Amino acid sequence: MRLKTSLSKEPKHKELVSCVGWTTADELYSCSDDHQIMKWNLLTSETTPVAKLPDIYPIDFHWFPRSVGGKKQTHAENFVLTSSDGKFHLISKMGRVEKSIEAHCGAVLAGRWNYEGTALVTVGEDGQIKIWSKSGMLRSTLVQQGTPVYSVAWSPDSGKVLYTSGKQLIIKPLQPNAKVLQWKAHDGVILKVDWNSVNDLILSAGEDCKYKVWDSYGRLLYSSQPHEYPITSVAWALDGELFAVGSFHTLRLCDKTGWSYALEKPNTGSIFNIAWSIDGTQIAGACGNGHVIFAHVVEQRWEWKNFEITLTKRRTMEVRNVINDAMDLLEFRDRVIKASLNYGHLVVSTSLQCYVFSTKNWNTPLIFDLKEGTVSLILQAERHFLLIDGGGIYIYSYDGRLISSPKFPGMRTDILNAQSVSLSNDTLVIRDKADEKVIYLFEALTGKPLGDGKPLTHKTEIVEIALDQKGLTNERKIAFIDKNRDLYITSVKRFGKEQKIIKIGTMVHTLAWNDAANILCGLQDTRFTVWYYPNTVYVDKDLLPKTLCEKDASEFSKNPQIVRFVGNQVTIRRADGSLIHLSVSPYPAILHEYISSSKWADAVRLCRFVKDQTMWACLAAMAVANKDMTTAEIAYAAIGEIDKVQYINSIKDLPSKESRMAHILMFSGNIQDAETLLLQAGLIYQAIQVNINLYNWNRALELAVKHKTHVDTVLAYRQKFLEDFGKKETNKQFLQYAEGLEVDWDKIKAKIEMEIAKERERAASTPPVRTSVTVQH
């Protein structure tokens, strides 16, 4: 990625430019010490003076936010301008000063609208922070301190402000008495801060010539090398993927993790202010020598399998097929804003249209118009893709048909990113921003909430979510990482009973599902872990550690991110920005393929060929999950789990299909389901016996009493159990029923024999029905 800068020949302003701000993607306003406000139209490359404000030396400038309360305004209508005489001015787009308000003693150093546009914060040389209403009425003086406040930023929920105090950064909630977070951030005075609303990360820059990235708890994520001159400006791109850094004769483009994509050394003097355009494709900088510098982000790259795509110019992409070195040029009518390459399709959004290319044919894209220009996120699944713009979420098929447009109350699309949204062929999940513990689940094809419409709720805040991509809709799984960096997995389908949310990993920084099989990979602490069959937790939890593949990942340094997991290749981005490719064994994917087409014999042969414990463990879990007990027996034998082999054998000897099913369910730990199944089949005795075997005495007795059968059996077993352990009966219920009941083992055994015979008879009389579930002998 690179910046393509452009500077006009002669500076348009006579004095230093102090601040800039975009109204649309192609229109910029700039203010200068020569008292002029200029408007820059990039389409016609014209510069026109908007207004002259005598006696005002502008310092900071911020447009009123565009989206207010869900209603979209296409243009920003007015802005706040702070000046050195202690006033701030509300100025209309036409340059008319609507209001000038005396705010601070000394210069007003910064003024920011909150994201909803309901409040304005100003900070001054007098060390005060004041909150104002939309119309400029003073609401409160939030802070009074001894040093000037150079910069201020709102938190994503507009409930806190971040400000500078010398070398310290302070986060102060608007509510009184709430906890203030304060830390020493730089070795010099901090000049600029910015807080991104999408990724919740904080940027700071100071006179110690460094810029730093922090999370919202004040933990340092990145600290740059010292530069030659103080850093005078930093700014996040709206989507939070990139940020720009400005200094004397310096403009830098950085990734959100801090490492720098590109450095430019334009002849600008100090860059006092940087603003990103709304579509995130270009930046403008206010230069100390009266120039306004424009810089375009170009040369983004997308890779997928054998294709490599580079955005060479604003409207041109170059596609390279690395297998035969064939080159294709893709030309677009407008500027490219976002693109995504996956599942054999390239989706490109420009300011007006969306293009869908197939990797098989680059010549004839499918083109459709977009409702609103600025797409902020494109996510792809195998059969369709998702576009998010300021107005909503839209799922389109690859032939350009709008499939659905899911909605939920309080939806804010501008803050969704790839970590908080995940799409699969049948499901869409979105992590809510208002309550980060909640995940909304949607059917992708209809856009309706899944099942009973209740969202998935976790006990702590969720950081990252991901859906598996393959397999049946009923078995769709979602993996997510919570705030404590624990990795959980759960089923998306939530009919009736609550599905368990099972923890399968700790200290997980990042995760990704494979595109072709339900294999999950993640970075756990200092290890790279692949869960070859995460579904194991629902089948045989003890087996999970055996289905993992772990590699040392300490060489990836701090905070690596998984970029993609395509085929058997994992791509990881290290904190310094370098890409690392890892290959994982191709066999588990093949095994997944065999299982999905029920080729059990092939699967067993593959495992024998590979001779790997992990593979056998996966096969065992898969076989149990699909209730193929023969294969399960072979697989368990191969990994030496003799107890399980024995149990499987005992299941095979069971007389009827129902009880075999029940025991398979018990095998995977679903005792409740097993009991229900037996009761439904009318096998009361077997249900009671299951509970007895589990020492679940109360339930056994309850069932016996309810169905008026085998009460004596339960009591007999209970008595035997108590005798074995040399204990006395204390349970009141048992005491009550034991009264006047003689335990006669012969009678009981005869009764049990009879029950089993009855079951066998029944099984024989009903003709075997072909079902999807088969238990082979």
Using the minimum distance from each CB to another protein, give the nearer residue, 575 or 738: 575
Per-residue tokens: 114: 């909150």
Using the minimum distance from each CB to another protein, give the nearer residue, 250 or 422: 250
CB of 312 to another protein, least distance (A): 18
Quote the CA–CA distance of 376 and 80 in Å, as a whole number: 26
Find the part of the chain contacting another protein (CB under 8 A) among 91-99, 205-213, 480-488, 568-576. 568-576
Using the minimum distance from each CB to another protein, give the nearer residue, 402 or 580: 580
Residue type, 480: F
Using the minimum distance from each CB to another protein, give the nearer residue, 263 or 403: 263
Question: Which residue shows structure tokens 């999408």?
Answer: 198
Q: How far apart are the first and last CA of the chain?
A: 61
The beta strand positions in 681-721, using DSSP E, are none
Restricting to residues 596-635, which ones interact with another protein according to CB under 8 A?
Answer: 609
CB of 295 to another protein, least distance (A): 15
CB of 116 to another protein, least distance (A): 39
CB of 583 to another protein, least distance (A): 5
CB of 264 to another protein, least distance (A): 9
260 binds another protein (CB under 8 A): yes
Helix axes 629-638, 613-625, angle to 10 degrees: 160
Q: Which of 569, 596, 630, 731 binds another protein (CB under 8 A)?
A: 569
Per-residue tokens: 328: 């294709």
Per-residue tokens: 673: 């389901």
Alpha carbon dihedral 121, 122, 127, 129, in 10-degree steps, equals -20
557 binds another protein (CB under 8 A): no
CB of 11 to another protein, least distance (A): 20
748 binds another protein (CB under 8 A): no
Find the part of the chain contacting another protein (CB under 8 A) among 130-138, 395-403, 582-590, 727-735. 582-590
Quote the CA–CA distance of 64 and 75 in Å, as a whole number: 10
Find the part of the chain contacting another protein (CB under 8 A) among 38-46, 324-332, 402-410, 581-589. 581-589
List Cα–Cα distances, 162 to 95, 128, 159, 183, in angstroms. Answer: 30, 13, 10, 11
Residue type, 60: D
Count CA atoms within 13 Å of residue 36 on its CB side: 17
Find the part of the chain contacting another protein (CB under 8 A) among 160-168, 262-270, 317-325, 685-693. 262-270
CB of 262 to another protein, least distance (A): 7
List Cα–Cα distances, 348 to 280, 345, 378, 386, 395, in angstroms. Answer: 15, 10, 9, 12, 14
310 binds another protein (CB under 8 A): no
State which H helix or E strand residue 572 sits in: strand 569-573
Using the minimum distance from each CB to another protein, give the nearer residue, 583 or 771: 583
Quote the CA–CA distance of 396 and 153 in Å, as a whole number: 36
Per-residue tokens: 441: 């689940």
574 binds another protein (CB under 8 A): yes
Number of residues interacting with another protein: please give it, by CB under 8 A: 21
CB of 361 to another protein, least distance (A): 28
Find the part of the chain contacting another protein (CB under 8 A) among 137-145, 446-454, 577-585, 649-657. 577-585
Q: Map residues 684-713 to x or -, x wherever contact with another protein holds by CB under 8 A.
A: ------------------------------
List Cα–Cα distances, 642 to 87, 136, 366, 646, 661, in angstroms. Answer: 81, 77, 58, 6, 21
List Cα–Cα distances, 384 to 444, 576, 746, in angstroms. Answer: 9, 34, 66
Using the minimum distance from each CB to another protein, give the nearer residue, 156 or 246: 246
- 439, β-bridge pairs: 431, 456
Find the part of the chain contacting another protein (CB under 8 A) among 255-263, 370-378, 616-624, 666-674. 255-263
Count CA atoms within 13 Å of residue 135 on its CB side: 1
State which H helix or E strand residue 596 sits in: helix 587-596
Quote the CA–CA distance of 350 and 315 in Å, as a whole number: 9
CA angle 634, 639, 640 (to 5 degrees): 95
Question: Which residue shows structure tokens 């009591």?
Answer: 715
Q: Which of 262, 521, 607, 666 binds another protein (CB under 8 A)?
A: 262
CB of 617 to another protein, least distance (A): 21
Q: Which of 581, 727, 770, 777 binds another protein (CB under 8 A)?
A: 581
How do beta strands 282-287 and 438-443 pair? unpaired
Quote the CA–CA distance of 664 and 493 in Å, as a whole number: 22
263 binds another protein (CB under 8 A): yes
Q: Which of 418, 502, 582, 590 binds another protein (CB under 8 A)?
A: 582
Using the minimum distance from each CB to another protein, give the nearer residue, 175 or 583: 583
Using the minimum distance from each CB to another protein, give the nearer residue, 590 or 679: 590
577 binds another protein (CB under 8 A): yes
Contact 292, 17 (CB under 8 A): yes
Residue type, 594: Y
Q: Which of 12, 186, 249, 256 binds another protein (CB under 8 A)?
A: 249
Q: Which of 327, 579, 601, 754 binds another protein (CB under 8 A)?
A: 579
Q: Which of 46, 55, 228, 498 binds another protein (CB under 8 A)?
A: 228
CB of 265 to another protein, least distance (A): 4
CB of 226 to another protein, least distance (A): 11
Quote the CA–CA distance of 577 and 257 in Å, as a whole number: 8
Residue 549: Cβ within 10 Å count: 16
223 binds another protein (CB under 8 A): no
265 binds another protein (CB under 8 A): yes
Q: Which residues contact 453 (CB under 8 A, 6 or more apart)?
A: none
Using the minimum distance from each CB to another protein, give the nearer residue, 254 or 638: 254
Find the part of the chain contacting another protein (CB under 8 A) among 179-187, 216-224, 257-265, 620-628. 257-265
308 binds another protein (CB under 8 A): no
SS3 719: helix
Query: Residue by residue, what is the 3-state secondary structure of 393-432?
Result: EEEEECCCCEEECCCCCCCCHHHCCCCCEEECCCEEEEEC
Contact 148, 129 (CB under 8 A): no
Q: Which of 580, 679, 722, 756 binds another protein (CB under 8 A)?
A: 580
Q: What phi and psi, each to the nearest 5 degrees, are found at residue 544?
A: -50, -50
SS3 142: strand
Q: Is 366 left (phi over 0), alpha (psi -120 to 50) or beta?
A: beta
Find the part of the chain contacting another protein (CB under 8 A) among 125-133, 216-224, 254-262, 659-667. 254-262
Find the part of the chain contacting another protein (CB under 8 A) among 482-490, 508-516, 580-588, 717-725. 580-588
Using the minimum distance from each CB to another protein, give the nearer residue, 301 or 333: 301
CB of 594 to another protein, least distance (A): 17
Quote the CA–CA distance of 511 and 522 in Å, as a whole number: 4
Find the part of the chain contacting another protein (CB under 8 A) among 62-70, 569-577, 679-687, 751-759. 569-577
576 binds another protein (CB under 8 A): yes
CB of 140 to another protein, least distance (A): 44
578 binds another protein (CB under 8 A): yes
Q: Which residues here bind another protein, judged by CB under 8 A?
A: 227-228, 249-250, 259-260, 262-263, 265, 569, 574, 576-583, 586, 609
